[in-house]
Structure 1
Amino acid sequence: MTDQPAPELRFDGRVAVITGAGRGLGRAYALLLASKGARVVVNDPGAAISGESVDAGPAEEVVAEIVSAGGEAVVSTASVATPEGGQAIIDTAVEHFGRIDILVHNAGNNRYASLAEMTYEDFDAVLDVHLRGAFHVVRPAFSLMCDAGYGRIVLTSSIGGIYGNKNVANYAASKAGIIGLSNVAALEGQEFGVKSNVIVPAALTRLAEGLDTSAYPPMGPELTAPAVGWLAHENCSITGEMLVAIAGRVARAFIAETPGVYRPSWTVEEVDEQMAAIRDTSDPWILPVVPSAHLDHITKSFAIAMEGSAHVG
């Protein structure tokens, strides 16, 4: 008896909007989903890494590649950096294809500087594309998805957003904020069939220019695309979670708490004395965002307090 191959996961009849899809990761996502039947809005203003200038060429080339392979796609050069641009991107999907089922926010830019030297302009320029840009496309898409009773949202964070990195306070803050935005979309979308998750990708794209990557393993965008494809598919069984994709490794990233230490009152000195126990990760709490991590956090914390106060009494 031979093993039967798993059925192909396709996107026939689905409409996907992918921001930053003219190059790198976004291009890989667009090509993959289109090859599996999705009709794709390829959004990319063709900006430089710093976020400046406009060039429709990259998005047009991706659309041409999709069409030449027998797929359906249209260009959007609107910028995610403004509410009007975000609305225009989603409108493109509705005007050309009549709906939106999938939103992948991948657009990004970089402006490097140390925390002490970063200008407000450079901070805002990166937030405008990554974090505010996510909101600018999620907000109009989310309402349409809820009305339709179906949706898949995939937002892009980074290990820089989870763990931080030097010289990218703007980028790190944006990518951390995206996690919270996705969690809210997951919670509010649950009853409407809308799922929202975060991809934490790493690939060699133009954002890696200037880095010494000679010792890196294979890290092409095509290694990340399948994880994004699964998050965008109706078979996606998770919401409010984060998937890491780096150099062929796909994993889950999650936030956890230690049980901590209860006392009816604290002094600074007692916090110092108990710090090892407070930080003990041997029995962590992992609270799923959906359905009720927020409430579970409070409930479990209150239960410990009530039990502790009863013992004290």
Structure 2
Amino acid sequence: MTNMNWEAAPNLNGRVAIVTGAGGGLGRSHALMLARLGARIVVNDMTEEAAGKVAREIADAGGQAIPFAASVTDETGIAEMVSRTSAAFGRVDILVNNAGILRDKSFAKMTMAEFREVVDVHLMGSAICTKAVWDIMREQRHGRIVMTTSSSGLFGNFGQANYSAAKMALVGLMQTLALEGEKYGIRVNCLAPTAATAMTGGLLPKEAFERLSVELVSPGLLALVADDAPTRAILCAGAGHFARSNVTLTRGAYIGAGPDAPRRVVANWAAISDRTGEVVPDYGFMQMERELASRPGDAEEKTAGAQT
């Protein structure tokens, strides 16, 4: 991290950010960038050595940072981290849930212990850290929370059943917390990074590893944590490219009841799957509302072309 004029970077001045798993890799890149933008940083990692090194790096460049060593699965340790953050800086504005592990194996070879370990760190760790800051953010009526999801969760990836399940679960957690936090000024988003780190080093060819620098992912964070940040966004980032991913709902087709309903679902699969006019629901019950609003008369319009 190079020295710079911190006063010339006003975007996050006065804000306080906790970044988990920030002792190296993507978390370190996140912490350095948020500090460069003016935020005061709490650098979390498993060891004091790793967290302290990044905190000193920020301080040496003119920023403010404190290290805190704790596993994100340790509720007591995380509660102490948040308490120390409030004591040191007076508030908590941003939480970046970045900490994670890999235990890759095909599902046939994976033990339930290996499955549970990954879910505990990614999903439960993010929930524990978020719960620890939630009341503070509600009381101050401002908060920005970023969950780290993955294309493996959004779209699947061979040999990563545990990781995929945990990462997609974080999207569901984001969706609900964004709704619950809206009236308190809390905005919750997901970042799906593609980056070359120690965790992914063995999975990527050398050429891809060189192009997928962590520094090319972190710039996306500002859009997710700034005062005018969206909420419920899934930002995919890698190699300097940024895209949005969405969970959508097709118009579908009215099938109704009756003994032949299963056959008609199969016969109308193309109409049910047709993505023309699909929407991104504002909330989960929107699916039920659309289902209840459909009528038997809709069947001809929506399924006529798919009848056999």
Instruction: Give the TM-score normalised by structure 2.
Output: 0.89
Match of 2:20 in 1: 19
Whether the aligned pair in 1 keeps the contact of 2:255 and 2:264 (CA below 8 Å) is no
> Could you tell me how far apart the structure 1 residues matched to 2:178 and 2:34 are?
22
Distance apart, 1:178 and its partner CA: 0.5
Whether the aligned pair in 2 keeps the contact of 1:63 and 1:75 (CA below 8 Å) is yes
Match of 2:251 in 1: 259
> Could you tell me how far apart the structure 2 residues matched to 1:22 and 1:306 are?
58
> Could you tell me how far apart the structure 2 residues matched to 1:30 and 1:231 are?
14
Match of 1:303 in 2: 293
State how 1:93-172 maps to structure 2 within 5 Å.
Answer: 93-172=85-164
Q: State the aligned residue count.
A: 291
Give the match's secondary structure for 1:286: coil
> Could you tell me how far apart the structure 1 residues matched to 2:245 and 2:148 are?
13
> Could you tell me how far apart the structure 1 residues matched to 2:20 and 2:116 are?
19
Relative distance call for 1:207 and 1:83 in structure 2 (3 A) is same
Match of 1:90 in 2: 82
Distance apart, 1:306 and its partner CA: 6.9
Match of 2:280 in 1: 286
Whether the aligned pair in 2 keeps the contact of 1:82 and 1:128 (CA below 8 Å) is no
Give the match's secondary structure for 2:207: coil
User: Mind listing any 5+ residue stretches in structure 1 that lack a counterpart?
Assistant: 1-6, 46-54
1:234 to 227, 230, 243: 227
> Could you tell me how far apart the structure 2 residues matched to 1:211 and 1:296 are?
39
Give the match's secondary structure for 2:202: coil
Relative distance call for 1:298 and 1:268 in structure 2 (3 A) is closer
Whether the aligned pair in 2 keeps the contact of 1:103 and 1:154 (CA below 8 Å) is yes
Deviation string, structure 1 residues 189-231 (Cα, Å, up to 9, x no partner): 0000010000011111111222342332721111111111221
> Could you tell me how far apart the structure 1 residues matched to 2:179 and 2:113 are?
33
Whether the aligned pair in 1 keeps the contact of 2:42 and 2:68 (CA below 8 Å) is yes
Name the Cα RMSD after superposition: 1.9
Give the match's secondary structure for 1:225: coil
> Could you tell me how far apart the structure 2 residues matched to 1:141 and 1:212 are?
35
Distance apart, 1:79 and its partner CA: 0.8
Match of 1:40 in 2: 41
Most deviating of 203-212 and 218-227: 203-212
Give the match's secondary structure for 1:256: coil
Distance apart, 1:296 and its partner CA: 2.5
> Could you tell me how far apart the structure 2 residues matched to 1:25 and 1:68 are?
20
Distance apart, 1:8 and its partner CA: 5.4
Deviation string, structure 1 residues 75-126 (Cα, Å, up to 9, x no partner): 0111101222332232231122121000000000011221122112211211
Establish whether residue 80 from structure 1 lines up as the match of residue 72 from structure 2.
Answer: yes
1:276 to 259, 270, 280: 270
Give the match's secondary structure for 1:244: strand
Give the match's secondary structure for 2:22: coil
User: Mind listing any 5+ residue stretches in structure 2 that lack a counterpart?
Assistant: 1-7, 302-308
Distance apart, 1:56 and its partner CA: 2.4
